[in-house]
Structure 1
Amino acid sequence: MFRQNYVDSMSTLRHQFDWLPDPLGSILLLCAAALIALLLSRLITGALPRLPGLRKIQFIHALINRLRLNISYFLMIIAASAALPATEGFSPKTETFLAHALACLFIMNLGFGIIRAFRLITDQYLNRISSRENVDDITVRSHQTQIRVLRRLIEITFGVLTVAASLMVFNSVQKFGVSLFASAGAASLIVGLSARPALSNLIAGIQIAITQPIRMEDMLILNGDWAWVEEINATYVVLRTWDRRRYIVPISYFLENPFQNWTHSSQSLIGSVFLWLDYRTPMDQVRQMFMEEIEHCPDWDKDRSSIACQVADSNAQVISIRIIAGAADAGNMWNLSCDIRERMLRRIQSELPECLPRGRTAVVSDSPSEAPWPESLMSPPVNRPDDGRYRGPDLKSPVVS
């Protein structure tokens, strides 16, 4: 009944365009119906959030704002489709094409509206879990990774199905689909070979979402660069370096190649600093300096079990001292390492300048009667054969002890 009244009203409106050619008047009728529906949709989307029962529900407000265009298109397509019987001057073939085109637009608008609503729901969930204080950072990043990757896969799949369903309303597309299924064997082989990289990345995305070797905002080492996971898409990953460069890496790379993930289990890291000092360095005093300076480092995580100051190596000229301390994350670790290095060098320069690395050279003559030069730097002194304290096995060659 309502539809018949609407068609009668559209027929009455159509007669207002009798002074125009019938096809042009019918096109203006469809445009007028769509315009009336657009005005009606604005009234509906503006009035719904103000209803007493929906005024305090923030999700309804966000949903209406997100789907405002889809609601407008939805009503405009329905209005134009319902006004189609009131048109005149169209051939049966043209009228059938217009009906199929409106049905195609209706299915596409409905499908992509569902995708936008699904994205809103997942965004609301991510915002809610991120705002909780009792949820650790790894759990939040795990949920973000799973939802973002799986959401993109679902959106791609549902989008393809929506486009396919909307195009199937045309008879020509249906016939093409039947012929495509008839030759599915050869077509599947060709499509499989040509789409192998894309399919492998899609499957890798599912594996990434389930196993999670990487998560959102994980810190990785790639080609010697520190990089944070900025975005995980269905087929590639965007990595952000410390100097704001971006790596675009196929998602299958993280399943086929080894890489370093510094925040997989925890964000806390241990930074190391190496100092090369002279052999005369008093280690007890250096350790005391380190314990005093670490207390003034703002980036230290206050974990005393992670700090140490040890002689890690030595060579013919210097000893290598390794200093380690823990920090909350990679950025703080880098700042902590630089801070410790600056503080220790400043203390050593002012209190232990003799411990800084230096090169020593002494010239020793073959003649027993000539002293080495410079003699003041020889420690211990050179023992000559004529001193009578020690001689080599042949009692002729001078021996240096």
Structure 2
Amino acid sequence: MCLLLGPVGAFALDAGVTPPPAEVARSAPEWLPPGLFTRPLWVLETWQWLGLAVLLAGAWVLGQLGEALVLRLGSRAAGLTKSGWDDELLAAGRGTMRHVLGATVAAAGARFLMLPPAGQGAVDLGARSIIIVAAALFLLRFFTRAARFLEQKVARSPEGTDVARVRGLRTQLSILRRVVEVAVVLVAASLLLLQFEAVRNVGVSLLASAGIAGLVIGLAAQKSISTLLAGIQLSITQPIRIGDTVIVENEWGWVEEITLTYVVVKVWDLRRLVIPITHFLEKPFQNWSKVSPDILGTAELFVDFRTHVPSMRAELQRILAEESQGLWDGRAQGLQVTELSERTMKLRALVSASDAGKAFELRCLVREKLVAYLQAQPHGLPLLRAEASHLPLPDT
């Protein structure tokens, strides 16, 4: 028992003698019954187990109350400012602050229980671990909410009409957030593991052989590191952005998600292509909305030689003006004869739309309406011509 009674136990450990019973009695609450000084489990006495349970319950209650008080005061202070960052900071701290406050109260209150070094060390280890995890969770929440706040702020600003700028910002924030998430998780995991002596010894051993270990790890992780660097490079150069219309691997779709290692392309039929991020830095692809989402589209028709082209051109103008269903943006339209064959001529209708999706629908609409117009014309659709002649039969 000489090792378990705070200062008295420390004196006994240093002097190599057992403290007198009177000193042991003074080191513990004198009003407790003798039965609470037994050790039913581990190195703690019964009264210390009871005190620890009460302490943890009280720490949990104080953590809840402390967080509520801080959030209430912080909300009032945030209401006096025009910036939205303080609101995001408070929202990120909701739920994590109580754990930090509770762990701090528990670690401080455990000193009054006169726990032995092993018991106090376990309490401190648990408190530090909770604080590290809560701090990491707070940072992850804050960066996520901050990225969303910046996107919404730019979208509401006058610059929000610049679609390319908004897409570029979304891409940069998405990749930056993922880099921060990886860094926070790695740092938090390192701090958690470095609390243990065995892990610290392993770390020292690795540092001692840093040359060989670094070479082996570098060679093994070369592909992964290059992929991560490619993700960072893509966020800076921005050959693609979230929401861009692309043609990659002979598939047409939209960039739905960009991570540090791969890109998700949503195809028109709702399939998803998962493509390594290095593909967009090493191989050519089409980006239809790199500069602007505005795009031109064509609809081609084969008609008879007797078709009146000016009337077809007027019909196209009427369709775009009256029946385009808001798909035509009014920038460009035209109808031209682009090719002739021995039987037909090919007309190309040129239209414009604000994005690739609307351009596809507008092309289909124009093609359908022009075919219906040709069907109503006497000489619109292509005809196969044949000439019959009556030749005299040869004499037999």
TM-score (norm 2): 0.80
Q: Does 2:59 align with 1:31?
A: no
Shift of 1:15: 6.2
Separation in 1, partners of 2:48, 2:264: 52
What is the match of residue 328 of structure 2? Answer: 300
Separation in 2, partners of 1:243, 1:302: 28
Aligned 8 A contact 2:88 2:142 in 1: no
What is the match of residue 324 of structure 1? Answer: 350
Separation in 1, partners of 2:172, 2:131: 31
Identify which of 79, 98, 102 aligns with 1:55. 79
In structure 2, do the counterparts of structure 1 residues 39 and 286 end up closer, same or farther at CA, with 3 Å as the change threshold? closer
Separation in 1, partners of 2:329, 2:231: 35
Q: Does 2:237 align with 1:214?
A: no
Equivalent residue runs for 1:52-201 within 5 Å: 53-57=77-81, 59-87=85-113, 91-135=116-160, 136-201=162-227
Relative to structure 2, which stretch is displaced further, 332-341 or 103-112? 103-112
1:315-367 deviations in Å (ceiling 9; x for gaps) = 333222111111111121112111211221111111x23231233455779xx
Aligned 8 A contact 2:88 2:146 in 1: no
Shift of 1:63: 2.7
Identify which of 347, 369, 382 aligns with 2:392. 369
Aligned 8 A contact 2:75 2:87 in 1: no
Shift of 1:266: 0.5
Relative to structure 2, which stretch is displaced further, 256-265 or 218-227? 218-227
SS of structure 1 residue aligned to 2:302: strand
Q: How many residues align?
A: 353
What is the match of residue 225 of structure 1? Answer: 251
SS of structure 2 residue aligned to 1:199: helix
Separation in 1, partners of 2:181, 2:343: 64
Aligned 8 A contact 2:171 2:242 in 1: yes
Q: Does 2:314 align with 1:291?
A: no
What is the match of residue 5 of structure 1? Answer: none
Relative to structure 2, which stretch is displaced further, 312-321 or 327-336? 312-321
Aligned 8 A contact 1:313 1:320 in 2: yes
Which amino acid in 2 is paired with 1:205? G
What is the match of residue 378 of structure 1? Answer: none
In structure 2, do the counterparts of structure 1 residues 170 and 26 end up closer, same or farther at CA, with 3 Å as the change threshold? farther
Shift of 1:210: 0.6
Aligned 8 A contact 1:29 1:87 in 2: no
SS of structure 1 residue aligned to 2:246: strand
Which amino acid in 1 is paired with 2:190? A
In structure 2, do the counterparts of structure 1 residues 180 and 349 end up closer, same or farther at CA, with 3 Å as the change threshold? same
Separation in 2, partners of 1:207, 1:359: 59
Shift of 1:26: 4.7
TM-score (norm 1): 0.79
Q: Tell me the C-alpha RMSD between the 2 structures.
A: 2.8
SS of structure 2 residue aligned to 1:69: coil
Separation in 1, partners of 2:154, 2:32: 58
Separation in 2, partners of 1:71, 1:159: 18
Separation in 2, partners of 1:30, 1:105: 16
Separation in 2, partners of 1:15, 1:253: 73
SS of structure 2 residue aligned to 1:258: coil
Aligned 8 A contact 2:304 2:345 in 1: yes
Which amino acid in 2 is paired with 1:173? V
Structure 1: gaps (5+ residues): 1-10, 372-401
Separation in 1, partners of 2:342, 2:51: 97
Identify which of 359, 367, 375 aligns with 1:341. 367
Which runs of at least 4 in structure 1 moved beyond 6 Å after TM superposition?
14-17
Equivalent residue runs for 1:353-368 within 5 Å: 353-361=378-386
Separation in 2, partners of 1:225, 1:362: 47
Aligned 8 A contact 1:45 1:64 in 2: no
Separation in 2, partners of 1:310, 1:44: 73
Separation in 2, partners of 1:185, 1:370: 102
In structure 2, do the counterparts of structure 1 residues 364 and 98 end up closer, same or farther at CA, with 3 Å as the change threshold? farther
Separation in 2, partners of 1:232, 1:226: 17
In structure 2, do the counterparts of structure 1 residues 362 and 45 end up closer, same or farther at CA, with 3 Å as the change threshold? farther
Identify which of 259, 265, 268 aligns with 2:291. 265
Structure 2: gaps (5+ residues): 1-27, 38-44
Separation in 1, partners of 2:74, 2:211: 53
Which amino acid in 1 is paired with 2:304? D
1:218-237 deviations in Å (ceiling 9; x for gaps) = 11123343311122122222
SS of structure 1 residue aligned to 2:379: helix
SS of structure 2 residue aligned to 1:263: coil
Separation in 1, partners of 2:248, 2:384: 38
What is the match of residue 388 of structure 1? Answer: none
SS of structure 2 residue aligned to 1:243: coil
1:148-179 deviations in Å (ceiling 9; x for gaps) = 11221122123212221232222222111111
Which amino acid in 2 is paired with 1:369? P
SS of structure 2 residue aligned to 1:264: coil
Aligned 8 A contact 1:105 1:166 in 2: no
Shift of 1:129: 0.4
Aligned 8 A contact 2:263 2:277 in 1: yes
Aligned 8 A contact 2:52 2:110 in 1: no
1:159-218 deviations in Å (ceiling 9; x for gaps) = 212221232222222111111112223322332333333322211111111100011111
